[in-house]
């Protein structure tokens, strides 16, 4: 019988094949070899995130002060504050779970730039700029995930109290909300594009690129559509349809927009 690692690997390969068939902006496929690596690493990141969330669901009781009488008053401090050592431990666990995936995705983006624009630079997981960028992105992701987890716990507690559920049912509701595989999918799709584009950005800076042009998918959403064909100097921000700023795609969760890098003529 296959062990869990073998099952996870098989699921990752299947998920990569599915991701490969989904709509992507053309620049991602300009280098078929790096595109193959991109979809595989996104699938691997999704598996890593899903495994972390499953473990987190089992650790949920540690994140809630079940004996606090304020629990039934829906007070935010019934969930341990983000400064608590338990949350710090969760941050460290999540960081360890996904940092290698994020680092590899940054390298893939930089390697794609090398191939597409025919400028070899030798980017790898040993590159200092890659390591710093990957750690920065992962730390930001960890903070956002933990904040979302805390919010989901509070929302689930509120729902359980409104429905008159007992403690066991409340815990089950929270665990189901936290370990939802759709959450891992959303994290992976967004962070994979973020890391890939960050790698492209590092490549662009290192090779003296002048600007980048936002390129949307056909039928782009109202957030990204106004940016289609817009060119900005490297490092400057694009303005989404709702006024939010982005230095690069993704413009939102599950965004598959891309960029074209431009050099001085």
Structural domain tally of the chain? 2
Q: Are residues 61 and 187 in the same domain?
A: yes
Q: Are residues 38 and 152 in the same domain?
A: yes
Q: Are residues 113 and 135 in the same domain?
A: yes
Would the pTM of this model clear 0.75, i.e. be above it?
yes
Q: Rounded CA gap, 194 and 92, in Å? A: 21
Strands 245-246 and 238-239: antiparallel
Q: Are residues 40 and 117 in the same domain?
A: yes
pLDDT of residue 150: 87
| Residue whose pair of structure tokens reads 């608590």 in the numeric block | 84
Q: What share of the chain is helix, strand, coil (3-state, %, to 5)?
A: 65, 5, 30
Q: How far is CA 156 from the centre of its chain?
A: 23
Burial label for 206, CB within 10 Å (0-12, 13-18, 19+), is: middle
Instruction: Give yes or no for residue 69 having a pLDDT over 60.
Output: no
Last residue of a domain, one of 165, 191, 207: 207
Total number of residues shown for the chain: 265
Q: Rounded CA gap, 172 and 177, in Å? A: 9
Q: At what angle do helices 32-59 and 85-116 cross, to 10 degrees?
A: 170
Q: Rounded CA gap, 151 and 204, in Å? A: 38
The tokens for 96 are: 């360890």
CA distances from 213 to 27, 93, 144, 145, 225 (A): 11, 37, 28, 30, 13
pLDDT of residue 67: 63
Q: Are residues 221 and 156 in the same domain?
A: no
Q: Are residues 229 and 203 in the same domain?
A: no
211 pairs with which residues across the strands?
Answer: 233, 262
Q: Cis peptide leading into 191, omega within 30 of 0?
A: no
Strands 258-262 and 245-246: unpaired
* Cβ neighbours around 110 below 10 Å, total: 28
The tokens for 189 are: 């799709």
The pLDDT tens digits for 104-120 are 999 999 999 999 999 99
Higher pLDDT pick, 7 / 214 = 214
pLDDT of residue 259: 96
Q: Are residues 166 and 241 in the same domain?
A: no
Q: Are residues 251 and 225 in the same domain?
A: yes
Instruction: Give yes or no for residue 250 having a pLDDT over 60.
Output: yes
pLDDT band of residue 221 (cuts 50, 70, 90) is: very high
Burial label for 145, CB within 10 Å (0-12, 13-18, 19+), is: buried
List the one residue out of 102, 199, 198 whose CA is nearest residue 145.
102
Question: Residue 257 sits in which domain range?
Answer: 210-265
Q: Are residues 246 and 138 in the same domain?
A: no
Q: Are residues 198 and 224 in the same domain?
A: no
């Amino acid at each position: 019988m296959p062990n869990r690692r073998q099952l996870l690997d098989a699921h990752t390969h299947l998920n990569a094949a599915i991701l490969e068939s989904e709509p992507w902006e053309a620049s991602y496929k300009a280098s078929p070899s790096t595109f193959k690596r991109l979809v595989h690493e996104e699938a691997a990141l999704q598996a890593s995130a899903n495994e972390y969330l499953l473990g987190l669901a089992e650790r949920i009781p540690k994140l809630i002060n079940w004996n606090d009488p304020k629990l039934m008053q829906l007070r935010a401090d019934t969930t341990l504050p983000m400064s608590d050592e338990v949350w710090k431990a969760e941050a460290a666990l999540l960081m360890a779970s996904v940092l290698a995936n994020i680092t590899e995705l940054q390298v893939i983006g930089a390697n794609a730039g090398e191939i597409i624009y025919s400028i070899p630079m030798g980017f790898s997981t040993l590159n200092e700029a890659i390591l710093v960028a990957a750690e920065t992105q992962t730390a930001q992701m960890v903070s956002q995930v933990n904040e979302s987890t805390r919010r989901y716990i509070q929302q689930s507690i509120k729902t359980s109290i409104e429905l008159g559920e007992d403690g066991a049912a409340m815990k089950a509701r929270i665990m189901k909300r936290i370990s939802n595989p759709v959450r891992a999918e959303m994290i992976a799709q967004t962070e994979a594009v973020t890391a890939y584009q960050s790698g492209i950005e590092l490549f662009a800076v290192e090779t003296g690129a002048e600007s980048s042009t936002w390129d949307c998918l056909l039928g782009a959403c109202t957030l990204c559509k106004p940016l289609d064909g817009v060119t900005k100097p490297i490092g400057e921000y694009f303005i989404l349809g709702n006024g939010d700023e982005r230095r690069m795609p993704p413009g939102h969760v599950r965004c598959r927009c891309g960029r074209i890098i431009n050099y001085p003529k």
